[in-house]
Amino acid sequence: MSVPLGPGLTCDEAGWLLVERGWDPDRSVAAGSNFLCGNGYLGYRGTTPEQGPDEFVALVVSDTYDCADGHWRELTTAPNPLFVAAVVDGETLAARSAPEVETSLDLRTGTFGARFRSRVDEAELVVEVERFASADDLHVLAQRWTLRADAEVTVEVDARIDDRIWSLNGEHLPDVHLAADDTVLTATGTTVESGVEVAVAARVVGPTGAVTVPAGGEIVIETTAAVVSSNDVDDPSAEARRRAGAAGYDERAEASAARWAEIWAAMDVTVEGDVADQVGLRFSAYHNRICTPAHTDRLPIGARGLSCQAYQGAAFWDQEVYNLPAFLFTEPEIARSTLVYRHRTLDGARRKAARLGYDGAFFAWISGDTGDELCPDVFFTDVLTGRPIRNHFNDWQMHVAPDVVTMIERYLDVTSDERFLVDHGAELAFEVARFLHSFVRYDEWRGVYHCIRLLGPDEWHENVDDNAFTNHQVRKALAFAVETHERLTADHPDALAELTDRIGLRPEEVDGWRRVRDRMLLPQPDDDTDLIEQFAGFFELEDVRPDEVRSRLLDPGEYWGWPNGVAVATQVSKQPDVVMLLWQQADAFGDDVARANYEYYEPRCAHGSTLSHAAHGMVAVRIGEIERAHDHFRRTAMVDLLNTAHAVVGGTFIGGIHTAACGGTYQLAVNGFGGLDVDGDRLTIDPQLPAAWSGLSYPVRWRGLGLRVRITGDAIEITADHANDASVRVAVRGVELDVAPGATASG
């Protein structure tokens, strides 16, 4: 029995299999992203084998950054090794023209499926497709294509590498060389700016050319493909050919499925009582995992992952605030490597700071493989005038730097990874502290430090002063830098001496961090209303609601934000800002303040970003508004499945999987409803489930120990792994428990 999710979209009762029936060209961008096969190294969009670049077919490859148009530096899309087309009596069998079409994604194994039925003359023909990106060998894609006929028919079968490439911004591989030997096809090209050689190889097994299919018969074509770049090996073409010919489809499928079983064992969250929420949560976990380069610490988590080239395959603040926390309690080694990536790209952040006249490290708003700023000055176009809009994402939205540091602190709270602090975290914290010290401005009259001319999380309001979220994050990051310096002084003096010498850190700099920490202007709740002003002068703006502002648009494609968008002079925000502060620094404010600000700001938020609902949901859980939080959960979990976000904004293509929403969905389920948190040296669990959920179960990795939490009604069971070498301390609704290896405790 299938469970309806949306128009034409269903899932199975177990919450693992997504199925979409029918063909809607308006959903082609979204469907290709939703049914993506990927593994962190590559992403292959969920299109059918006969489709071409005009239907958004793309194979996106990590670590292939290139600027082909002089404006956008993005990941490269490679030639398509899985192209298969069948022609009968001059008619190509195609999903887009078939009367019956079904596409699917088995989340358990990351397997894409397609099935469509066509009739040519007297013959009924059925094409079935199965495809996966290997979770075992990350360079490998495999596909099985089957054609069945109920009457004898002659079919022209074309199975090859298609060198026609869909690319958003320029031709990255303008000269693709095609070659073939006895068993393997290859396509190679070199990116125009970065000089990266990309090689695609495909071993095709099965009949091609003119093939006669008897009545009741079938033909099967199996393609094993591999993608390798010169950033991986010296001879990518030879390596791609070797991998493509190493094993067949069934062997590859078995190995990949086994690896997926290990991944799901670490991260699967089980929802009881609501299958739609279950599949939305697994869909989010799947995409958050396959967008993450878990195989390396040199690459970022892209805001659209590897689903397309939008947002350049680069990291934003989303990486630390949304994506990374989903790994803290499941695969903490991935969280670690994501933070090591920031350390590896410190020089890029230093270059940005120096270019803008600051000290230390100013992390890029859009960060690729080097950490240099990839965000252009012009991101959107005024649809009314055709003129470019100068947004200051790349020089005023500076909260990304303290956001990275506050997540380092969170990572250490969860993992107690002292080695990371010494080898990476301290240098990151110190260089960001240097930047923040040079960024703030001292007010001698009031004796406080300000953050001026900036852009907070609400991207529609630029050029503001003392944004509450930013100021509080700055103070928190400086406090951590000071504490880290004191910690290394006491516990790792030799390491501190080496680091101090290497980066030229002076004692007076650390004294300066202390001064700013102690005198930072921190917007506080009003004594009467408990409201925190989003930034200086915010409450003087027009107090209207998003629907009123929307009614003022002259064109639905207008950009709402700075400098002259319809929201700029109003209190309508694109996404949470003060609410984001209440989520990220929950301990800094009481529940009354959280409630007052949630109730004030949520109605004034247009939820114009997919980052929005997870943050609102987390604060709603905190103040006991569980059903409102559940509504936010569903909106963030289903934003891609139901295609509720725009693919183009202000003339810029921003389609693809919203990976931050995927990470936010996990956090809202586990850290929100599931109540999982950390307090010193113990886990804390204080759940509040939505009415629709009869139970919730999730795995936890905690400082090298494993356990599983199951919540049903008022009962909470915690089962520790048999392999644990120590008991786990857990506070369940305030009652402290010690759970021995292999034991189950109830709270």
Q: Given strand 91-92, what is the order of strands in its sheet?
A: 91-92, 80-88, 153-162, 209-213
Q: What angle do CA 399, 404, 410 make, to 5 degrees?
A: 125
For CA atoms 317, 409, 531, 669, the dihedral sign is positive
Torsion-angle region of 8 (φ positive above 0: left; ψ -120 to 50: alpha; else: beta)? left
Catalytic residue among 20, 130, 239, 459: 459
* Maximum CA extent, the chain: 91
Q: What is the SS3 assignment for 484-527? A: HHHHHHHHCHHHHHHHHHHHCCCHHHHHHHHHHHHHECCCCCCC
Residue with tokens 């064992």: 265
CA distance 571 to 553: 16
How many beta carbons lie within 10 A of that of residue 309, not counting itself? 24
Q: What angle do CA 432, 435, 440 make, to 5 degrees?
A: 125
Asked if residues 404 and 363 have their Cβ atoms less than 8 Å apart, the reply is: yes
DSSP assignments along 569-585, one per residue: TBS-BSS-SHHHHHHHT
What single-letter amino acid sits at 695?
Answer: G
Q: What angle do CA 40, 45, 46 make, to 5 degrees?
A: 125
What single-letter amino acid sits at 604?
Answer: R
CA distance 294 to 289: 8
CA distance 113 to 49: 11
CA distance 441 to 536: 15
Secondary-structure breakdown of the chain: helix, strand, coil percentages, each rounded to the nearest 5: 35, 25, 40
How many beta carbons lie within 10 A of that of residue 423, not counting itself? 14
Q: Examine the residue annotation and report whether 74 is marked as an active-site residue of this protein.
A: no
Which residues are annotated as catalytic?
459
